[in-house]
Amino acid sequence: MKNSAFLKKLKEKAEQDNKKRQDLRFRKVMGFLLAKGLLRTNIADIELRPQVKMTIDEILWAAREVEPRILEVLPAVLLKFPGHILLKKNLPTELQEIIDRIRKGEEQGPDFQGVPYAKMKYWTNLRLPDRRTKPQNELKTQKNFRLSPGLVEKLAKLSRDRNLTETEIIEMAVARLK
């Protein structure tokens, strides 16, 4: 008697999950994440959608209702693919704080809806299969320096002679100072 009631509830829950997996919001978000190589799934009929535009509300709905792993990769999506996110309103303040801390390279930060900061930061530093986006910890920081004209000429000559960029020459020189 109890088993049949339990099985009935289980079947109802499975039907609800199936309906949610067919929802356009989930299919759009998951198709994007699959196409970019951030997540994998055993759901075979999801169309890869590398160029889709999504809202934060759609992403959060898909994470809350169907696939919680989406929350882990959300900061990586916001940092690596900002052009694919349509912001109708501001990001939740907790999420904005996490993004700011990851940009600064901080090791500690707040959790977001039960997902630890360390897990979210991991995905931002992951090299993706397409190799077109750099991990957050490998992004270059722009610095401006005022160099004497003689040093600029020497830097340009070294760059030509060694077939390296001027930035690479400076990075090598600073690395040797350790």
Output the 3-class SS for the chain: CHHHHHHHHHHHHHHHHHHHHHCHHHHHHHHHHHHHCCCCCCCCCCCCCCCCCEEHHHHHHHHHHCCCHHHHHHHHHHHHCHHHEECCCCCCHHHHHHHHHHHHCCCCCCCECCECHHHHHHHHCCCCCCCCCCCHHHCCCCCCCCCCHHHHHHHHHHHHHHCCCHHHHHHHHHHHCC
pTM: 0.73
Q: How confident is the model at residue 14 (pLDDT cuts 50, 70, 90)?
A: confident
Domains annotated for the chain, with CATH where assigned, are 2-138 (no CATH), 140-178 (1.10.1220.10)
What per-residue confidence (pLDDT) applies to 9?
A: 81
Q: What is the pLDDT of residues 74-105, one digit of tens each?
A: 999 999 998 888 876 778 889 999 999 999 88
Mean pLDDT of 125-154: 80
Mean of per-residue pLDDT scores for the chain: 86
Query: Mean pLDDT across the stretch 136-153?
Result: 81
Which pLDDT band holds residue 167 (cuts at 50, 70, 90)?
A: confident
Report, as an integer, the average pLDDT of 2-7. 78
Residue 1 has pLDDT above 60, yes or no: no
